[in-house]
Amino acid sequence: MLVVVGHPRRESLTTALAEAFAEGAREAGCDVKTLYLSELAFDPDVIADSPAAQTLEPDLAEARGLIAWAEHLVFAFPNWWGTMPARLKGFLDRILYPGFAFREEDGHYYGLLAPRTAELLITMDVPPLVYRWIQGAPGHRAMARATLGLCGIRTVRITTFAPPSHTDAATREGWVTQARGLGLRLRGGPRRPIRRRLHEAGRWLLAVRPQFYPMSVLAYTLGALLAAGTLDLLAFVFGLVAMVGLKVATVLTNDLQDFESDAQNRFFSPFNGGGRSLLEGGFSPSELWRGVWVALGVSALGAVATLVMAPSPVTVLIVLAVLAVLALGYTLPPLKLSHRGLGELDVAVTHGPGVLLLGHVVQGGSPFSGQAWFLALVIALAVLPAILLAGIPDRTADRDARKQTLVVQLGTVRSVDLAIGFLALSALAALALVQSPVPVGLALSLFALPHAAGLIWLLLRYRGVGAPEKRIDLLVGLALLYVAWFVIVPFVEMV
């Protein structure tokens, strides 16, 4: 671990916090080195054409070696004018140069310091709530995302100590004790192999976006239950492996193909803006492509095993092939459906009819089953509002990246109108399911109808102010929860 003290004076509260953290980390078993920027001799200005072309002073050369040695970086600094002191800014300008911290390729930037992690210890006089919600936390964002994130370093924790100029000695002593406790939490040390493996697994888990799998798994299960009261468990599991592997490959190819749009997106969130694996996860394109091929290999193995066990292997093969073309064709050429205004429909088809029909035929169900198709189409109608709303925060970034999504073509207001229309249709379809041959009772309508009515009311209010392009996490989250009723309630009733 490398602790970088970014205060321009050696004697300071920042230094005391950094040294206490380092002391706690050593007691926890970490190998810790500390770097005091106030004691380094270097020119903080980049005077060459590129930072890489400017010879590093001996102190900076040693600092570069320490950064390369460390697995975990701790930056301690005061918040001055909303961000870091000039001393720390100059240090970062000089030390995080291309070829060492990142590389540029075809106008895109890739971090070279992954899988390192970092945390920030920051003193500030501005109240934390004011800094975050009124000022927008510019220093936090600049350091964690624009600087460390671009270099592939993931910031795992930011701790603020405020306001130091209006506190007594006892409070400051308490902060020093707190900083030591933060270091003690790293018991076991970041250099242990288990921690490294867990961190690597965590990176991939974030990259594949696990939050979007449960509904697909439930839809697949619904199709299987419609076909057979008693599941062929092995065929079910192998079919599920084929489907999930294909979905993982799709998520990773989306990150690769949508890099330009994701990089420009100001309103990304857990629900939109891509997985950002290249931007913030510390992955290189080659790593993600390896992940794609591994996922496709796992999917292929699952598919082969499913074909051996399924009652109608030819039907299963056709459904899997169509599902693969649509899923991978979302962003991959030559289809690139998401760039042609067909991405929203593609997602609705693959997440509704596609996975449900796959589960159905794997268990020997007919591909022309009215029950399966009716339920699948109802789910597709419920999915479309969430997909449309998730595209609103991405609109400008998608347009600038020449990605002609449906939201880009329609605009935000008409996209909201379309989402409202699909909400109304899906709610009516849920009501129609009560009288359909699909074994779903009145419970779905009891959940779906009031949810749809409430969400439509919120969307009308949002439309009333012009449907501005911004983060709309509440609306997207409620739209995704709405979809959940269409898979959870039927699943519970069938089981």
Give the pLDDT of residue 191.
46
Residue type at position 79 = N
User: Of 436, 317, 320, nearest to 373 (Cα)?
Assistant: 436
Beta bridge partners of 35: 4
Spatial neighbors of 492 by CB under 8 A, at least 6 apart, are 443
CB 388 within 8 A of CB 417: no
Q: Cβ-count burial of 341 within 10 angstroms (0-12 exposed, 13-18 middle, 19+ buried)?
A: middle
Cα distance between residue 373 and residue 420, in whole Å? 23
Give the pLDDT of residue 215.
86
Residue type at position 437 = P
Give the pLDDT of residue 285.
78
Cα distance between residue 98 and residue 460, in whole Å? 48
User: Of 379, 405, 384, nearest to 393 (Cα)?
Assistant: 405
Instruction: Establish how many alpha carbons lie within 13 A of residue 494's alpha carbon, considering only the half-sphere containing its beta carbon.
Output: 23
Q: Cβ-count burial of 21 within 10 angstroms (0-12 exposed, 13-18 middle, 19+ buried)?
A: buried
Give the pLDDT of residue 22.
94
Cα distance between residue 475 and residue 286, in whole Å? 35
* Beta-carbon count within 10 A of 50 CB: 10
Predicted structure pTM score: 0.66
In terms of C-beta distances under 8 Å and separation of at least 24 residues, what long-range contacts does 44-52 make, across chains too? Answer: 44/86, 44/87, 44/89, 44/90, 44/91, 44/93, 44/94, 45/90, 45/93, 46/93, 46/94, 50/97, 50/98, 51/93, 51/94, 51/96, 51/97, 51/98, 52/97, 52/98, 52/99, 52/100
| Stretch (H or E) spanning 423 | helix 412-433
Q: Map residue 277 onto helix, strand or coil.
A: coil
Cα distance between residue 397 and residue 260, in whole Å? 8
* Beta-carbon count within 10 A of 229 CB: 8
CB 328 within 8 A of CB 249: yes
Strand 154-161 versus strand 117-123 pairing type: parallel
**CA–CA distance from 184 to each of 5, 13, 200 (Å)?**
18, 19, 22
The first and second tokens of residue 113, run together, are 């310091």
Beta bridge partners of 386: none
Cα distance between residue 279 and residue 476, in whole Å? 23
Cα distance between residue 373 and residue 353, in whole Å? 7
User: Of 189, 158, 174, 153, nearest to 24 (Cα)?
Assistant: 189
Low-confidence ranges of the chain (pLDDT < 50): 189-191
Cα distance between residue 276 and residue 282, in whole Å? 9
Spatial neighbors of 384 by CB under 8 A, at least 6 apart, are 344, 345, 348, 418, 419, 422, 426
Q: Which residue has the tokens 């969130």?
A: 269
Q: Map residue 112 onto helix, strand or coil.
A: coil
- DSSP code for 468: -
